[in-house]
């Protein structure tokens, strides 16, 4: 409805371009820390984009999405621990493990709706957390240090910070594009239709369970990829990656950015993590500000950042 030059479209283009130009700014004398911070933001934005596919478009309120960050991360960490460094092995294993986990817990959880679904996904993610925390061989509670990042063929070197940043950014853009394509496909229409009225969709003849399960697995795989990236970014994996409060962080990113908007979660991830960084610079007790702030967003700004941008049409 709004034209190409709406405030929202301009913001999106400027944002995506700014992210692409960030390393140039760092080379020209910006802080190196900025590059590390934004690599993290981009990876978590990717996780949030994948969560948005099921939460925003599919209406599936998963409260255990961080579990795939952990699974993807541990796939890289465990294989590295066993001396297998090739990314061509590590990454496919990360994706396959995430897919398998999503398939199993999705098949069980999607039988239920509403609060049951929230609590089931939450509980299964906690189960994975405790299992990983119990694996003494891989560090248990203390986590596992990764001494060598995933190895690919020659020019690609994940230890080069700028190169790694661009790889993460490219994968983020690719996942945004993928989600956008899914949402606008026939498959995506069925998913969104099922969010509005599942009974009617089934009455028309769509086996919505299978559609939703497929969607749930796709989101899990995308987040598993983000997990593999995160492990390479921090050179460390620990059960804390998939603790339930991390799943909460991902939901905050999606809602803060704007649910059901393809780029919304990117706004949300940037807003949340930059806010955390700023507030923790001001006071040690920054969560005392973040908590109530979150409450206010829920009570008064449900559309999130994307919703606000949609309102400023002629600005």
Q: Which residues bind another protein (CB under 8 A)?
A: 55, 61, 63, 108, 111-112, 114-116, 118-120, 122-124, 126-127, 130-137, 244-245, 248, 251-252, 255, 285-288, 290-295, 297-299, 302
Give the pair of three-digit tokens for residue 184. Answer: 């606008």
| Smallest distance from another protein to CB 173, Å | 27
Q: How many Å is the Cα radius of gyration of the chain?
A: 19
By beta-carbon proximity to another protein, the closer residue of 28 and 299 is: 299
Angstrom distances, CA of residue 146 to CA of 75, 130, 255: 11, 21, 33
The answer to whether 304 and 295 have CB atoms below 8 angstroms apart is: no
Task: Give min distance, CB of 100 to another protein, in A.
Answer: 15
Q: Find, among 290, 307, 286, 300, the residue nearest to 248 by Cα.
A: 290
Tell me which residue of 86, 88, 47 sits closest to 220, measured CA to CA: 47
Q: In the bound complex, what is the minimum distance in angstroms from residue 248's beta carbon to another protein?
A: 5
Cα separation, 63 vs 261, whole angstroms: 19
Instruction: Report H helices in 28-86.
Output: 32-52, 66-81
* Minimal distance, residue 71 CB to another protein, in Å: 14
Residue placing its CB nearer to another protein in the complex, 59 or 220 = 59
d(CA 254, CA 56): 8
CB of 30 or CB of 292, closer to another protein: 292
Q: Pick the closest to residue 227 from 306, 146, 139, 118 (CA basis).
A: 146
Smaller CB separation from another protein, 144 or 252: 252
Shortest gap between Cβ of 15 and another protein (angstroms)?
A: 24
How many whole angstroms separate alpha carbon 60 and alpha carbon 118? 8
Closer to another protein at the Cβ: 23 or 73?
73
Q: How far is the CB of 132 from another protein (least distance, A)?
A: 8
Nearer to another protein by Cβ, of 105 and 215: the residue is: 105
């Amino acid at each position: 409805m709004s034209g190409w030059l709406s405030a929202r479209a301009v913001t999106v283009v400027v944002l995506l371009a700014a992210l692409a130009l960030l390393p140039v700014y760092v080379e020209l004398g910006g802080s190196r820390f900025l590059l590390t911070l934004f690599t993290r933001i981009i990876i978590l934005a990717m996780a949030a984009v994948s969560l948005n596919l099921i939460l925003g478009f599919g209406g599936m309120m998963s409260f255990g999405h961080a579990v795939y960050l952990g699974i993807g991360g541990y796939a890289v960490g465990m294989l590295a621990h066993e001396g297998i460094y090739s990314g061509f092995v590590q990454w496919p294993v990360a994706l396959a493990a995430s897919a398998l986990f999503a398939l199993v817990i999705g098949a069980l959880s999607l039988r239920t709706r509403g609060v049951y679904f929230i609590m089931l996904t939450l509980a299964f993610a906690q189960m994975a957390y405790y299992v990983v925390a119990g694996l003494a061989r891989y560090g248990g509670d203390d986590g596992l240090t990764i001494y060598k990042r995933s190895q690919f063929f020659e020019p690609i070197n994940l230890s080069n910070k700028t190169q790694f940043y661009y790889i993460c950014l490219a994968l983020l853009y690719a996942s945004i594009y993928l989600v956008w394509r899914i949402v606008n496909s026939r498959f995506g229409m069925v998913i969104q239709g099922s969010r509005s009225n599942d009974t009617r969709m089934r009455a028309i003849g769509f086996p919505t369970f299978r559609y939703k399960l497929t969607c749930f697995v796709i989101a899990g795989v995308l987040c598993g990829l983000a997990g593999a990236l995160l492990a390479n970014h921090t050179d460390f994996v620990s059960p804390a990656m998939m603790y339930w409060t991390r799943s909460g962080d991902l939901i905050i990113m999606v809602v803060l950015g704007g649910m059901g908007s393809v780029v919304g979660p990117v706004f949300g991830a940037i807003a949340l993590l930059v806010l955390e960084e700023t507030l923790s610079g001001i006071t040690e007790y920054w969560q005392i500000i973040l908590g109530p702030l979150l409450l206010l967003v829920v009570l008064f700004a449900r559309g999130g950042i994307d919703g606000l941008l949609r309102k400023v049409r002629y600005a």
